Structure 1
C-alpha cells in the first residue's frame, strides 16, 4: 500500500473539499469519520441533517468538521436550479423541472463541483456508474481538448521489474466499450496526466495491439496506429508510441528487438488497451495472477474530478477514492 500512503500524504498537504452525495449511507458516514480523523479532505455530506446525525451517532462516528447540506432546505438550491436550466434549456429543460432535478443528491453534488462549492465528488456505493456519469457529462462535461471520459486502474505489482518498479496504469478498463481512434488518443493523454498527477511518474505510454510497428495488417491495428498519431500530434511533449504488443511494450529485450527506435518500447508504464474487453480482462488477469493491488477505476477526462465506487465497496475503499479525488483536484488547480 506504499502508493496509497503517498496519495494520502499528498491529500493531507493541501486539503480539498470533497462532496459525498450518498451522505445518509452508512459506509459513507464511516468513511467520512476516517477522512476527517486523518485530515485527508474537508468533507461535505449531502442529505437530511437529522438522518445523518442520528445514523452517525448510532454508528459511533464523529462528524465534527463535516459540512452537511440538504437540497430540500439549502439556500443554494434555487441558484443551482437556475444554472442547471441555463445549461440544459436547449435540450428542453424547464425551470420547474430543473428545480426538481437538482434536489437529487447526485445532481446537487455535481452542481456544487461545477460552481466551485466543492473541489470533487465521490459516489457509487448505492448508485450505478451510469448514475454518476449522467450528471457529470451534463454539468461538468469533458476537460478542454478531451473528447471522452474514461477510466484507469493503477496496478501495483509486487516484486515486479515491469513499468515503474511494478507500478503501471491500465486504461480504459471500465467505461468505453469500443473507443474510436480519436477517443483512444484522448484516453492516452488523460492517463498520462493521471500518471503524473497521482503517481508522480513520467509517463511512457504504449498503445497496445496484437501488432508491433506494422508486423500485422488489420483494421483493428489501423485504429490503434491512427490513435497513436493523433495523440502524438495533440501532445508532442508526451512519450507515446505504438502500435505495440504487450511484450514489446514492457520487456526491454523484446522492445529492443521489435521496436529498436522507440523511446517507449520495453519501458512502458502506461498501457492503453484497444477496447474495454482487452482492458478489463487484462487488469483482472494481473490482479489475480500476480496478486497485484488494483486502485480504481479512476475517472479521468472530466473538467473537474468525479470518481465512481463499486457498490460492493468498503468504507476504507471510499476513504482511498476520496484521497485520490483530492489529489486530482490539487493537480487541476495548478
Structure 2
C-alpha cells in the first residue's frame, strides 16, 4: 500500500494533535494507542477517564503517551460553553444549556478543534454519521471559500491482481444526494485538494457521466458539463475531463479514442460522481468486487479536519483514518499560515 504508507510517513513528519471522543470502545483504544506509539499523531481521548482506563486495562493497553480529558473537570469547560453560546445563540442556545452540552464528548471534541486545542477529530465508531457530520458542520464550520461539506473515500488498489495500482479519490459517496452543477463543481475542487494532500500528486479529475464528450444528450449530462466548465473557470490549471464515462477516465487507450484534447488522458486519480446513487454504488463495487480497500467516508470542506467512521469499522480502519486526519490537519495548518502571510488589500 505505497500511497497509504506515504500518508502514514507524512503524518509522522510533523505530528498533529488528534482528538477522539469514543475512548471506551476497544477498537478506538487500540487504534489510538497504535497511532501514538508509532508517532502518527499526538492523541487526546475525551470522556470518562476511569472508564477509559478500565477499558484499556482489559486489553492490556498502555495509555502513558495519551492525554485523557474529562469534560466535567476540564478547565476548558467554561471557555467551550461560551463559544457554543456565541455560535448557537440564534438557535436558542443558553449558557445553562451550553454547560450541559459540552459535557458530551462529541461536542467537547469538536469545540476543541474549533478553538485550536486540537488539530482534528475522529468519531463515528459509536456515534451515528448524522451526529458526527452535523456536529462538525455546526461547531467546526465550513471553510470560507466553500459553501458545503462533502465526502470522499480514499480507495487503495494495491493487490497483485489490480491492473490500476495506487490510490484514487472517489467523491461524493456519502453526503450530498443530488448536487446541482455549482455543488458538483465544488465537490470536484475539494476532491482535487484532497488528492493533492493525501495522494501527494497532482490531481487529475474525471467528471463522470454515462456520456463522453457529448455522446449522449440529457439534463443529467448537461449538469456534469456545466460543473466541469465551472471548475475550469475557477481552477484553470487543474487537469479535468468532463463529461466522461468511467472507462475513458481510467483507460488511456479508450480516452485517446473518445476524448479530443483530453487533459487527463485516461489517468484520472479523482473520480467525481454525478450523484450519491452513483457514488455509493461505485465505491462499493470497487471495494466488494474489485478488491479495493476503502478508507472513509472522509469529510472535506470543513474549517478544520473532522472525520467520520463506520460503526462497523475495525481498529485498523480507525488507525488509517487518524493518519489521514493528521495529514489533513497539516494541510489546514499550512493553509492558515499562508492566509496569515498574505498582504491585506489597501
Q: TM-score, normalised by structure 2?
A: 0.92
Paired residue total: 332
Q: Distance in 2 between matches of 1:324 and 1:166?
A: 16
Aligned equivalent of 2:316: 316
SS at match of 2:211: coil
Deviation per CA, 1:270-328: give whole Å up to 9, x if none: 11000111111111112222222222222111110011111111112111110110011
* Contact 1:181 1:224 survives alignment (8 Å): yes
Deviation per CA, 1:171-228: give whole Å up to 9, x if none: 1111111112111111101111111111111111011111112221111111111111
Q: Distance in 2 between matches of 1:267 and 1:30?
A: 37
Residues 1:95 and 2:133 aligned together:
no
Cα drift, residue 4 of structure 1:
2.2
Q: Distance in 2 between matches of 1:91 and 1:232?
A: 38
Cα drift, residue 52 of structure 1:
1.5
Q: Distance in 1 between matches of 2:34 and 2:156?
A: 24
Aligned equivalent of 1:152: 152
Aligned equivalent of 1:260: 260
Q: Counterparts of 1:97-116 in structure 2 under 5 Å?
A: 97-116=97-116
Aligned equivalent of 2:59: 59
* Contact 1:19 1:44 survives alignment (8 Å): yes
Deviation per CA, 1:124-178: give whole Å up to 9, x if none: 111111110111111111112222211111222235454xx44321111111111
* Contact 1:206 1:265 survives alignment (8 Å): no
SS at match of 1:81: helix
SS at match of 2:266: coil
* Contact 2:295 2:317 survives alignment (8 Å): no
Of residues 78-87 and 136-145 in structure 1, the stretch that sits farther from structure 2 once superposed is 136-145
Aligned equivalent of 2:4: 4
Of residues 260-269 and 299-308 in structure 1, the stretch that sits farther from structure 2 once superposed is 260-269
Aligned equivalent of 1:36: 36
Cα drift, residue 265 of structure 1:
4.0
Q: Counterparts of 1:247-326 in structure 2 under 5 Å?
A: 247-326=247-326
Deviation per CA, 1:70-120: give whole Å up to 9, x if none: 111111111111111111112222121122212111110000000000000
Q: Distance in 2 between matches of 1:144 and 1:256?
A: 38
Q: TM-score, normalised by structure 1?
A: 0.95
Q: Distance in 1 between matches of 2:314 and 2:287?
A: 18
SS at match of 2:280: helix
Deviation per CA, 1:50-77: give whole Å up to 9, x if none: 2212221222110112111111111111
CA RMSD of aligned residues (A): 1.4
Aligned equivalent of 1:167: 167
Misfit runs of 4+, over 6 Å: none
* Contact 2:4 2:156 survives alignment (8 Å): no
Q: 1:93 to 1:115 in 2, by over 3 A?
A: same
* Contact 1:36 1:63 survives alignment (8 Å): no
